Structure 1
């Protein structure tokens, strides 16, 4: 009985220590408000081509709403006309067609992404806002929507086969038969041998597109051809992720970076030289600080674009968010998070504000803080109740000034609700 009682006390003490992990509050910096601005006043250097906007979680109203707020600020202040989401490339083109041509509805367009985290009121409002913006804008001022992810098949397959209907209907029939079992619903049921066969078939399609490039472009357009070739690449990337499951996360970030570069190049040819990319903090940041040790999309972009890549991270203090609990069920969780950076601004009354690290460096105290390694908020779409009892399970240890060029801090964050 004594042993049981001691064990209970030991477990209770350990549980208390874990509960307190990460809850220590740092010091506020005097006059910190002088080094902040409203999101609508974000100012990006003129030489920047790619702006990354990170989400500390996928399950907060504030971070989803910030997609629109940041994009609107960059439209007004930096003439950015292209928004890219960490979402399916093919599905995102359904959103693009809606905001440009009014095809379907905002809700239907968002559901085409087939990502639960985006089936929210905030995302639908954002897409509707982009549609309404375009309907009132001059042709030269219209905005465009992309996804740079490759975790789905359906809409990229449809885009590819629709293209073949125009340029090579007989070839299209053959490829349609080869791809008939490849869908979002069935993709996880495909065997290794089926995936290997699919990979060979996609290689044959890519080869056909390359061989007949001039002919196909004459029958369609240069832009349509480029999209068809990219659809084929997306299908191949999805297949490669299945065939290289042990290297999934690393390969995915490499593909995310490659696909974003394709979008940047394509839109530059249309006269749009700046792009806003929205993804999780772990994809946006430049230092590959994730615990799994793989190279982040942000590091790839930093290497390619150097100073022309500008990363804006996010962090939070008090947060109630929604996420899957491991079994697919979505629940709300609440945590309180502190680090030296968010606590430096704890006396600011605004709930949401932007900190430009270049401006923050004008204060020696803030310069020391942003150059200090610390735990930054980092919550994915999977979360378990016990994660919140130790900070290392919902944060990443990184140096803010090395990972980002600026930070949006949300002091009180509330949960999204997924629309089924």
Structure 2
């Protein structure tokens, strides 16, 4: 009987250690350090505001994209929204919110990411469209993607530009790139990818060599987009050619593309932008065990205190994600207890914001946000057994080094992908 009791104790202890099911203590009078989303305050000298999401498959985290952006448009004069999504597809969404051609749902599908084919993303894009209907010329909002994992819309952008400035080149490059698409890219052989890379280098060189002539026929802006579309195509090709460095290169490219957007929009008078992506891309410390430098780390080096990062976390989440083996989308439930979220567990609101500078006025909270702990970090690939090992759905990080603040969702619910 004694052995049986010891065994039970060991099993329970291991379960708490592996699953992270133990609760830390709530902090008394912690409500004074909490604000609503509408009360988020950003320092005046900030250029880039980042919002992370703890999962790609929760309603609340996708709704936060719109909710936070609305606040920034109203209070911080932010006019530029950047999504961890396809650069070329993002231009299609931008055309919709500016011109109104098509529907919000069609625009969202241009991204070619299942995680964004949701009611929440459609609502975001529709809101941006509706806002622009009554906004003055200098008040309109703009949409970008800064990812490079697709070909179709960037390819179309390049070829459409050549149809205007150089018809012969348009035909030549259309032939050379006819086998390049979202649907075929993963089946391309290495020698094909090398040829594609050379073709894109030729396009980039041609655009750069003929900048003056091409700009005279079009505009500085359309030329800039054509060149950037070509750069994004090269990035996509390089990812396929360097699969072993995929994660490392992708975050570097995410940061490069974001910097291009920042500079491009600054020239138009927009000195603040909002970017939203997975927590692992937004946080500043490259905490992932995968060993790559995060976009947020690059941004922190580029902009210093002018980069303001907001993370997200949950206490319990029922979310949807794709099984990387079967390809099926499934609903999973996980709990994440760490000292930070548990300190605020008695707050009545389900969604609230904690600014770490404000929270640091409490010695207890300063101690919590200054210590490493496991914070939620779930991508779009999740297997049922992951939930039994906390390292598969969290990253160990020091909150106040990774972020400037955090939005906590006590209970998160799953999105539904629109097929």
Using the alignment, how far apart are the partners of 1:414 and 1:265 within structure 2? 37
**Native 8 Å contact 2:16 2:22 kept in 1:** no
The equivalent of 1:17 in structure 2 is 14
**Native 8 Å contact 2:25 2:339 kept in 1:** yes
The equivalent of 1:138 in structure 2 is 136
* Match runs of 1:89-100 below 5 Å: 89-100=87-98
* Match runs of 1:326-337 below 5 Å: 326=324, 327-337=326-336
Using the alignment, how far apart are the partners of 1:203 and 1:278 within structure 2? 30
**Native 8 Å contact 2:15 2:21 kept in 1:** no
Secondary structure, aligned partner of 2:315: strand
The equivalent of 2:100 in structure 1 is 102
**Native 8 Å contact 1:19 1:390 kept in 2:** no
Secondary structure, aligned partner of 2:418: coil
User: Which runs of 5 or more residues in structure 2 are unaligned?
Assistant: none
Residues 1:389 and 2:392 aligned together: no
The equivalent of 1:39 in structure 2 is 37
Using the alignment, how far apart are the partners of 1:214 and 1:325 within structure 2? 49
User: Which runs of 5 or more residues in structure 1 are unaligned?
Assistant: 1-5
Q: Which runs of 4+ in 1 moved over 4 A?
A: 9-16
Using the alignment, how far apart are the partners of 1:145 and 1:130 within structure 2? 9
* Match runs of 1:210-289 below 5 Å: 210-289=208-287
Structure 1 residue 12: deviation in Å?
12
Q: C-alpha deviations, 1:134-178, integer Å up to 9, x for none?
A: 001111110000000000000000001000011111111101111
Using the alignment, how far apart are the partners of 2:177 and 2:208 within structure 1? 19
The equivalent of 1:370 in structure 2 is 369
The equivalent of 2:404 in structure 1 is 405
Using the alignment, how far apart are the partners of 1:40 and 1:161 within structure 2? 43
Using the alignment, how far apart are the partners of 1:60 and 1:295 within structure 2? 26
State which of 63, 66, 83 in structure 2 corresponds to 1:65.
Answer: 63
The equivalent of 1:209 in structure 2 is 207
Using the alignment, how far apart are the partners of 2:137 and 2:109 within structure 1? 27
Using the alignment, how far apart are the partners of 2:311 and 2:32 within structure 1? 20
Structure 1 residue 96: deviation in Å?
0.3
Using the alignment, how far apart are the partners of 2:360 and 2:279 within structure 1? 22
TM-aligned CA distance change 1:368 to 1:15, over 3 Å: closer
Aligned length: 413
The equivalent of 2:126 in structure 1 is 128
Secondary structure, aligned partner of 2:207: helix
The equivalent of 1:176 in structure 2 is 174
The equivalent of 2:189 in structure 1 is 191
Using the alignment, how far apart are the partners of 1:210 and 1:202 within structure 2? 12
Using the alignment, how far apart are the partners of 2:347 and 2:226 within structure 1? 50
The equivalent of 1:3 in structure 2 is none
Q: C-alpha deviations, 1:183-230, integer Å up to 9, x for none?
A: 000111110000000000100000000100000000000011100000
Secondary structure, aligned partner of 1:25: coil
The equivalent of 2:342 in structure 1 is 343
